[in-house]
Amino acid sequence: MEKLSFPDMLDLIEDRSRALRSAAAQAGLEARVPGCPDWTVADLIAHLGEVQLFWRAVVGAGEAASPPSPDVVGDTTPQGDLFAWSADATDQLVLELRSAGPNRMCWTWWEASGAPMTSGAVARHQVQEAAVHAFDAQQAAGQPQPLPDPVAADGVGEYLTVELLTNGPWPYEPGTVVLETGAGGSWVLDLETPAVTVLLGDEHGSAKPTATVTADPSDMILAFYRRDPIGELRIEGAKELVPQLLNWPNLD
């Protein structure tokens, strides 16, 4: 599995944000968003812009024990033309990230995961933020497309090592789940209390999995973010364990 370079991340934030705006224009601002049923497309555009402006302020603040105050973040309310405002929010985030480079320390919400708390980690997560919401906009327009290969392949590992590991002890029966995404890589999840452990597929030795999930990387990451995959998840073994895994994390 090749990791995204920092310049690649910045390019993908821009690319996926543009894809969101393009699909949003096709769908229309009042269209409903299937992946976020309470939102219109206008809400979706506003959300991504607000998120990007917030993380621009986080990266700009540098190393900190808490998120920046509202005064530091500034006004994140959409102003004027929504599409132009969104494009400017993306530009501001990418400009701040490019200025910071990948190694600037900053506050993040994922400290409990053990993942880096750096501008590079923020960029990596913002690729996924923009990509999943671009899919939302495409779905609202009736033209959902798989996440681009580099986004999807990196997204599975990013989700497992950032999002999944911030949720505390596993609340269900212990189990071992193998995730297979072909060329995108494979992972092993040891679901036990007190801690969930994530290993690369070649690190689990001869352990027999409780369940194995096989999917295209795009379908895997969309399922983790509770979107309807374009393809399917093929599950072998304890099928009840996989819905528990997908529904466990708090994605708010």
For the stretch 141-162, pLDDT in tens is 999 999 999 999 899 999 999 9
pTM comes to 0.94
Q: What is the pLDDT of residues 10-69, one digit of tens each?
A: 999 999 999 999 999 999 999 999 999 999 999 999 999 999 999 999 999 999 999 999
State both tokens at 202.
């070649």
Eight-class DSSP state of 40: B
The set of residues, in sequence order, having a beta carbon less than 8 Å from that of 103 and lying 6+ positions away, is: 118, 119, 120
Helices 119-140 and 82-100: crossing angle in degrees, nearest 10, is 160
Query: What confidence category does residue 203 fall into, taking pLDDT thresholds of 50, 70 and 90?
Result: low
State both tokens at 116.
């880096």
Residue 213 is predicted with a pLDDT of 94
Among candidate residues 51, 219, 214, the one with its CA nearest the CA of residue 151: 219
Residue 2 is predicted with a pLDDT of 57
Residue 201 is predicted with a pLDDT of 67
Q: What is the pLDDT of residues 166-192, one digit of tens each?
A: 998 899 999 999 999 987 888 999 998
Residue 4's φ and ψ, nearest 5 degrees, are: -70, 140
Residue 243 is predicted with a pLDDT of 93
Eight-class DSSP state of 111: G
Residue 205 is predicted with a pLDDT of 56
Question: Which has the higher per-residue pLDDT, 239 or 104?
Answer: 104
Judged against a pLDDT cut of 70, whether residue 207 lies above it is answered with: no
pLDDT mean across residues, the chain: 93
Residue 252 is predicted with a pLDDT of 78
CATH numbers and ranges of domains, the chain: 6-145 (1.20.120), 163-247 (3.30.1050.10)
Is-contact 223 192, C-beta < 8 A?
A: no
Query: What confidence category does residue 202 fall into, taking pLDDT thresholds of 50, 70 and 90?
Result: low
State both tokens at 173.
């029966």
Judged against a pLDDT cut of 90, whether residue 223 lies above it is answered with: yes
Residue 32 is predicted with a pLDDT of 98
